[in-house]
Amino acid sequence: MTATLILWAHALIALLFGALAVSQLNRAGTGLPRLAFLVALSATALWALAIAGIGVGDLMSWIAEAARNISWLVFMAALVRRDHSARMGAEIRLIYGVVLVVVVAAGGLSALAAVVVGRADLAGIAEVAVIMRMLVAVAALVLVDHLYHAVAPAARGGIRLAALALAGMWLLDLSLYTLAFLGIGDASVLILARGIAMGAIAPLFALAVHRNGDWTLQLSRAVAYRSLSAAAIGLYILAMVLGTGALGAIPAPYGRIAQTALVLGSTTAIVTILSSPWLRAWIKVKLAKHFFSHRYDYRAEWLRFTDTLGKPGDGAATLEARIVKAVADLTDSPGGMLLVPDGSGLGQGAMWNWDPTGLPTQIGENSLARYLESSGRIIALDDVRADSADSAEMTCVPIWMLDRGDAWVLVPLVHFGKLTGAILLARPQIDRRPDWEDLDLLRIAGRQVASYLAEARAQEALSESQRFDEFNRRFAFIMHDIKNLVSQLSLVARNAERHAENPDFRADMIATLKDSAARMNDLLARLSQHHSARPEALAAVEIVPLVERVAALRRAQHPIATGGLRDALILADPVRVEQLLGHLLQNAIEASPLGDPITIMVARAGEEIAIDIVDHGSGMSPAFIRDKLFKPFVSSKPGGFGLGAFEAQQLAEAMGGRVEVFSREGEGTRFRVSLPMAGAGADHVARAA
């Protein structure tokens, strides 16, 4: 019964794979992957027919299985190729070649075991053949994993079903031969189970071929290096197995000693050699030269370049040092030095792994800076040493740079036609003459880091400008207050000539002089850049006494009338309120005709107290109020600084209030200062604070 089921199951497999192969006949000539796919489908159908018609243990069945495995490996190798003109890397060919040799060996041993069945002296061949078939399945599964990860993540959708089907096929083989080697289960039942599972895998191949029309993949350089490393490790292990096996023929105890010496000595030698930076650099250069069409993996290099520049981390080097390292890493240079503009020449800048011993004070002559800026060419110093460089390069490169044997190339950093610096790179571990790929990559990197340097220097200049701007801004406010004091004292002096005998005037004049002296002392404190006056906490303040005090200090200059609500309380800082009202009142005095009184009215407006300062001066236009009134350094008065209204607004907003203005040209202006009223709850909070 089991034999009949095996026959029909494998006959069905042959039918499914044969039908899929026939469906691909009309498209088999469009590319190597499709042709290899057709051959693999046909070989699988023939293998299933051999098992169904002849049996598992027959010679032809083992040959058919080996042909099936070889055809699928060829199909996978064809998938790894990018296109018809692209070379598959030598390391990948080596891996597939080793696996194909193992497949052929396993098939040969299986065929030999089928021929010599029954001979006791050759009974071990069958066991070795099973182990080899298990090894084929494991190696094939590893190659399937390599195939899947060799493509970019975005392109894996088209290959996923094919990889899943191939992995399932060889996983079934591995399970079958492992159980057979261990003697677990009935062999015929295991073969039947594999046949049923293979019938379920066939639709996966059908779906895969319809979802991926061109079967083209892209092999990454990183995967190639890792694959070659894995192949090298495998070959090393194989060599150790063969070597220790050969030494095992030496009589004991010398054979065991020789085997131990071989393993320990070879392992120590390999570890010592691979730890050499020179050897790693040599391997990288040789692989890039002989296995790839380009020396550099530009994507990986650019990611590393930008990561070095943009992610300094904690305790990292300065930007200039990171720039040198990023450019040096591109060509595996062990160090470098940044040359920066110094007058009309070049001076010493940041260094990375560079010995500063013997460097001159003047790093580069004026002619070198001019040549680098005008030409933008990278100077290969070995060409200058060999007298084969351009005549301009021969004359501008300084002698100390040529005398330094580790100096390799000089990369100019030009940004918008202006030289921002130059990077002198040390000679790589594997000495070579810079070729067109080196020069192109360094030229692009030089332009990029030149923009970084230019941006950093522009940011430094901006920060310095902001510091000067802050100083000028502070000084402008002080000049504004000085102007107000001078104006106030000038009016007092002018009125003193007419009203000096008036006792009330003398009292106002003394109060004005005291206030002016206090304000001058405050200005002296504000002139210190270390002075940072801490504003007082907001508290409940009676506004009318503040208004009366401010008005009394200005009455020697101009007539001022006050009125309105008498018992109003505001939540504010009295010092800032006096300063705010002083600014607005001074503006009103300067805008009003001589002798025309100014009115200050206090009233309640909802939950706020409004202080109106009204004058009958020239007034302001709506456009000026909207666009210029509260902008610093803009004034409608001749010689004005334009800071009074601006600072008044800042002070009011700092206390949770605001300043509004109502004005009409030729009729006058009303400034309204609205400050929060100190109610019972607010007063309690203020007193608690």
Q: Which two tokens stand for residue 524?
A: 């002296």
- Its sign, for the CA torsion 495, 497, 500, 502, is negative
The segment(s) of the chain belonging to CATH 1.20.1070 are 2-218
Asked whether the predicted pLDDT for residue 641 surpasses 60, the reply is: no
Per DSSP, the residues of 91-159 read HHHHHHHHHHHHHHHHHHHHHHHHHSTT-GGGTHHHHHHHHHHHHHHHHHHHHHHHHHHTS-GGGTHHH
Question: For residue 214, what pLDDT is reported?
Answer: 46
Question: For residue 248, what pLDDT is reported?
Answer: 67
Per DSSP, the residues of 427-468 read PPSS-----HHHHHHHHHHHHHHHHHHHHHHHHHHHHHHHHH
Rg for the chain, CA atoms, rounded = 45
pLDDT in tens, 161-178: 778 888 888 888 888 888
Asked whether the predicted pLDDT for residue 368 surpasses 50, the reply is: yes
Pairwise CA distance, residues 598 & 616, whole Å:
8
Residue scoring higher pLDDT (22 or 272): 22
Strand order across the 560-564 sheet: 560-564, 598-605, 608-615, 668-676, 658-664
pLDDT band at residue 581 using 50, 70 and 90 as cut-offs: very high
Give 244's contacts (C-beta < 8 A, 6+ positions apart).
259, 262, 263
Question: For residue 496, what pLDDT is reported?
Answer: 79
Question: For residue 10, what pLDDT is reported?
Answer: 84
Nearest to 338 by CA among 409, 421, 236: 421
Give 656's contacts (C-beta < 8 A, 6+ positions apart).
538, 571, 675, 676
The listed range with the strongest mean pLDDT (3-17, 305-319, 631-645) is 3-17
Fold of 534-688: Heat Shock Protein 90 (3.30.565)
β-strand pairing of 539-542 with 569-572: antiparallel
The segment(s) of the chain belonging to CATH 3.30.565.10 are 534-688
With b for 16 or more beta-carbon neighbours within 10 A and e for fewer, the 184-204 pattern comes to eeeeeebbbbbbebbbebbeb
pLDDT band at residue 1 using 50, 70 and 90 as cut-offs: low
Average confidence score pLDDT of the chain: 78
Contact 91, 224 (CB under 8 A): yes
Asked whether the predicted pLDDT for residue 26 surpasses 70, the reply is: no
The segment(s) of the chain belonging to CATH 3.30.450.40 are 304-454
Question: For residue 638, what pLDDT is reported?
Answer: 59
pLDDT in tens, 82-124: 444 334 556 667 777 878 887 888 777 777 777 666 565 555 6
pLDDT band at residue 216 using 50, 70 and 90 as cut-offs: very low
Residue scoring higher pLDDT (163 or 210): 163
Question: For residue 241, what pLDDT is reported?
Answer: 65
* Domain 2-218, CATH number (from 1.20.1070, 1.10.357, 1.20.1050, 1.10.3470): 1.20.1070
Pairwise CA distance, residues 6 & 194, whole Å:
9
Question: For residue 447, what pLDDT is reported?
Answer: 93
Question: For residue 421, what pLDDT is reported?
Answer: 92
Fold of 304-454: Beta-Lactamase (3.30.450)
pLDDT band at residue 572 using 50, 70 and 90 as cut-offs: very high
Percent of the chain past pLDDT 70, that is, above it, reads 76
3-state secondary structure of 539: strand
Pairwise CA distance, residues 362 & 346, whole Å:
7
Mean per-residue pLDDT for 563-573? 89
Nearest to 439 by CA among 582, 273, 296: 296
Question: For residue 237, what pLDDT is reported?
Answer: 66
Question: For residue 316, what pLDDT is reported?
Answer: 67
Mean per-residue pLDDT for 296-317? 76
Question: For residue 689, what pLDDT is reported?
Answer: 40
Contact 597, 561 (CB under 8 A): yes
Question: For residue 601, what pLDDT is reported?
Answer: 94
The listed range with the strongest mean pLDDT (313-327, 545-559, 618-632) is 545-559
Asked whether the predicted pLDDT for residue 328 surpasses 60, the reply is: yes
β-strand pairing of 569-572 with 608-615: unpaired
In degrees rounded to 5, what are phi and psi of residue 315? 65, 20
3-state secondary structure 457-478: HHHHHHHHHHHHHHHHHHHHHH
Residue scoring higher pLDDT (523 or 318): 318
Question: For residue 686, what pLDDT is reported?
Answer: 42
Contact 80, 92 (CB under 8 A): yes
Within 10 Å of residue 301's Cβ, how many Cβ atoms? Answer: 16
Asked whether the predicted pLDDT for residue 404 surpasses 80, the reply is: yes
Question: For residue 450, what pLDDT is reported?
Answer: 93
Query: Is the link from the previous residue into 253 a cis peptide, with omega within 30 of 0?
Result: yes
Structure-token match 């010493």, residue found: 348
Q: How far is Cα of residue 268 from the mean position of the Cα atoms in its chain?
A: 40
Q: How far is Cα of residue 284 from the mean position of the Cα atoms in its chain?
A: 26
Instruction: Pick left, alpha or beta for residue 456 (phi over 0 → left; psi -120 to 50 → alpha; otherwise beta).
Output: alpha
Least-confidence region, from 145-149, 243-247, 353-357, 611-615 = 243-247
Residue scoring higher pLDDT (123 or 251): 251
Pairwise CA distance, residues 286 & 93, whole Å:
17
pLDDT in tens, 646-688: 888 988 998 999 999 999 888 899 999 999 998 743 443 344 3
CA angle 148, 142, 228 (to 5 degrees): 90
Pairwise CA distance, residues 94 & 5, whole Å:
41
Contact 221, 291 (CB under 8 A): no
Mean per-residue pLDDT for 352-377? 82
pLDDT band at residue 157 using 50, 70 and 90 as cut-offs: low
Mean per-residue pLDDT for 123-148? 78
Pairwise CA distance, residues 600 & 128, whole Å:
111
